[in-house]
């Protein structure tokens, strides 16, 4: 099953690569035809899409590797390197766009063959919309931060393209040549924000951020059902590693229970948490709740 999911994820990564190649070619043609620095900024962002998609394919392949002696928790965190790399590339592209736009702002140039250039750019934008919607659905289905990051970047690229197309139309309509580089600068600022969000999300994953509040609430709901039976809990810790979640907690049961009885209840608790969060790996530690020593390890450090 895991190998099947990994294969599906890599196929979506290939879709992202093909979409990026197609849009780069189309947007580069649009830029060459018109000479618009706004369309150039759009093409540069698609170049970042391609680099990010290639990195995504590589990291999805690494993340799919099974656990081994040196990686007992698997390789799921490799996905965070992909989204961080894409965020970094976005920032680099923003700097390049900013320099190109600043130069054109100082020395405005007329835009040529606008109609043809815009048609080509619109076709590229439609390709990005279709690819982004597909990747976003797959990312949510498989809980892949890599595919979701790729999809959100493509959607940002779509809005960038829409802005550039409108700007080029306004330049032709008004004759204000400064609008073209001005919009390019706005594009650069917008993708800086996207890059920052991807870097922050990747850092959170690498720093073992807890599960989202909605998923923590599901765990709490499961545990509440057992507390009325006389079972207590503490030291609940969660973290994300790519598509997989890890949940650990201490289960405190009456001291007179047999080991078998306590183990049976711990197994039920783990099962119920996994049913609430199918992507979670759950580990419990059994302790007698009437022994004060059981409460000395509630913190990370005893």
Which pLDDT value is given to residue 1?
A: 39
pTM for this one? 0.67
Locate 67 and state its tokens: 């656990």
User: Of 40-49, 120-129, 187-196, 202-211, where does mean pLDDT reach its minimum?
Assistant: 40-49
Instruction: Place domain 213-295 in its CATH homologous superfamily.
Output: Cation efflux protein, cytoplasmic domain (3.30.70.1350)
Report the C-alpha gap between 275 and 289 in whole angstroms: 26
Contact status, residue 145 vs residue 80, Cβ threshold 8 Å:
yes
| Predicted confidence (pLDDT) per residue in 21-47, tens digit | 888 888 888 878 777 766 776 677 777
Instruction: Tell whether the model's pLDDT for residue 265 goes beyond 90.
Output: yes
CATH fold of 2-206 reads Alpha-lytic protease prodomain-like (1.20.1510)
**Residue ranges matching CATH 1.20.1510.10 in the chain:** 2-206
More confident residue, 194 or 131: 131
Locate 7 and state its tokens: 């294969």
Residue 220 pLDDT level (bands cut at 50, 70, 90): very high
Average pLDDT, stretch 292-301? Answer: 80
Q: Which of 97, 82, 78 is nearest to 16 (CA)?
A: 82
**Residue ranges matching CATH 3.30.70.1350 in the chain:** 213-295
What percent of the chain has pLDDT above 90? Answer: 21
Residue 125 has φ and ψ, to the nearest 5°, of -65, -40
Average pLDDT, stretch 4-32? Answer: 80
More confident residue, 241 or 285: 285
Residue 3 pLDDT level (bands cut at 50, 70, 90): low
């Amino acid at each position: 099953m895991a190998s099947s999911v990994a294969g599906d994820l890599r196929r979506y990564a290939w879709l992202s690569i093909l979409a990026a190649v197609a849009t780069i070619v189309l947007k580069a043609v649009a830029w060459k035809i018109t000479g618009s620095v706004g369309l150039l900024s759009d093409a540069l962002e698609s170049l970042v899409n391609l680099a990010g998609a290639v990195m995504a394919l590589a990291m999805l392949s690494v993340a799919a590797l099974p656990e081994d002696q040196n990686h007992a928790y698997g390789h799921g965190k490799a996905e965070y390197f992909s989204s961080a790399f894409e965020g970094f590339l976005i920032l680099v592209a923003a700097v390049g766009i900013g320099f190109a736009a600043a130069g054109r702002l100082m020395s405005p140039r007329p835009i040529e063959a606008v109609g043809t250039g815009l048609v080509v750019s619109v076709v590229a934008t439609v390709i990005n919309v279709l690819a982004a919607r597909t990747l976003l659905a797959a990312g949510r289905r498989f809980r892949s931060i890599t595919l979701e990051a790729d999809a959100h970047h493509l959607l940002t690229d779509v809005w960038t393209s829409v802005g550039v197309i409108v700007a080029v139309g306004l330049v032709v309509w008004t004759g204000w040549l400064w609008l073209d580089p001005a919009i390019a600068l706005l594009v650069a600022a917008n993708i800086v924000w996207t890059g920052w969000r991807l870097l922050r999300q990747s850092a959170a994953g690498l720093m073992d951020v807890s599960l989202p509040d909605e998923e923590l609430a599901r765990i709490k709901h499961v545990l509440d059902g057992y507390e009325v039976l006389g079972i207590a809990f503490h030291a609940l810790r969660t973290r994300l590693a790519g598509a997989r979640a890890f949940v650990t907690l201490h289960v405190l049961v009456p001291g007179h229970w047999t080991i078998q009885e306590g183990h049976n209840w711990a197994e039920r608790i783990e099962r119920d948490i996994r049913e609430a969060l199918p992507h979670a790996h759950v580990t419990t530690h059994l302790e007698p709740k009437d022994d004060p020593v059981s409460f000395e390890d509630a913190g990370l450090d005893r």
